[in-house]
C-alpha cells in the first residue's frame, strides 16, 4: 500500500485528488493540508511514502521542496502544479522532488506518477523529459 498525503491550497483540487486516490486499490490517503505548515507537519507525522505538493501554495516554492526533502529524505515528493515545465521542473528536481506533473494531466497519469515514485523511480512527463 502506498501512503500519500496532499498539500494544496485549493480545496477543490484536494477534493479531486482525494477522489482519484479513492479509486486506486493500492493507494491510501493519510492526510491533507492547505499550506506549507500543514505539509511540514504531515511530512513529520503521517508516515507517508509520497506527497502530492502544490508549488504555489502559501509558504511553498522550490525552497520548500528542498526543506521537505531535508526533513524526510525518503519521502517521494510529486510537485503537482499549474506552472510551466520550463520554469520549474529542473529546479524542483534538483531541490529533491521525485516527480513533476502539470495539473492539466489526466487522472491516470497522476496515479502513474505516484506509483512510479513509490517504486523508487522519478516521474517525468514527456514535456519534462524533453527538457
Nearest CA to 73 out of 98, 56, 91, 54 is that of 98
- Provide the pairing of β-strand 50-53 with 76-81: parallel
What confidence tens digit (pLDDT) does each residue in 72-126 have?
Answer: 999 999 999 887 666 788 899 999 999 999 898 999 999 999 999 999 999 987 7
pLDDT given for residue 94 in this prediction: 94
Give long-range contacts, CB 8 A cutoff, 24+ apart: 25-30.
Answer: 26/1, 26/2, 26/115, 27/1, 27/2, 27/111, 27/114, 27/115, 28/1, 28/2, 28/3, 28/4, 29/4, 29/5, 30/3, 30/4, 30/5
Crossing angle (nearest 10°) for helices 107-118 and 11-22: 70
The pTM of this model reads 0.94
Give the chain's end-to-end CA distance (angstroms, integer).
32
pLDDT given for residue 23 in this prediction: 93
What confidence tens digit (pLDDT) does each residue in 1-34 have?
Answer: 999 999 999 999 999 999 999 999 999 999 999 9
What confidence tens digit (pLDDT) does each residue in 31-86 have?
Answer: 999 999 999 999 999 999 999 999 999 999 999 999 999 999 999 999 998 876 66
Amino acid at each position: 500500500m502506498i501512503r500519500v498525503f496532499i498539500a494544496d491550497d485549493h480545496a477543490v483540487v484536494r477534493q479531486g485528488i482525494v477522489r482519484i486516490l479513492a479509486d486506486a486499490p493500492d493507494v491510501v490517503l493519510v492526510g491533507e493540508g492547505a499550506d506549507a505548515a500543514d505539509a511540514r507537519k504531515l511530512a513529520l507525522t503521517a508516515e507517508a511514502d509520497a506527497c502530492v505538493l502544490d508549488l504555489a501554495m502559501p509558504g511553498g516554492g522550490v525552497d520548500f521542496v528542498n526543506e521537505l526533502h531535508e526533513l524526510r529524505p525518503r519521502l517521494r515528493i510529486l510537485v503537482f502544479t499549474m506552472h510551466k515545465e520550463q520554469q520549474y521542473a529542473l529546479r524542483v528536481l534538483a531541490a529533491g522532488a521525485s516527480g513533476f506533473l502539470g495539473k492539466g494531466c489526466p487522472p491516470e497519469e497522476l496515479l502513474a506518477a505516484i506509483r512510479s515514485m513509490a517504486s523508487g523511480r522519478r516521474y517525468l512527463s514527456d514535456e519534462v523529459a524533453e527538457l
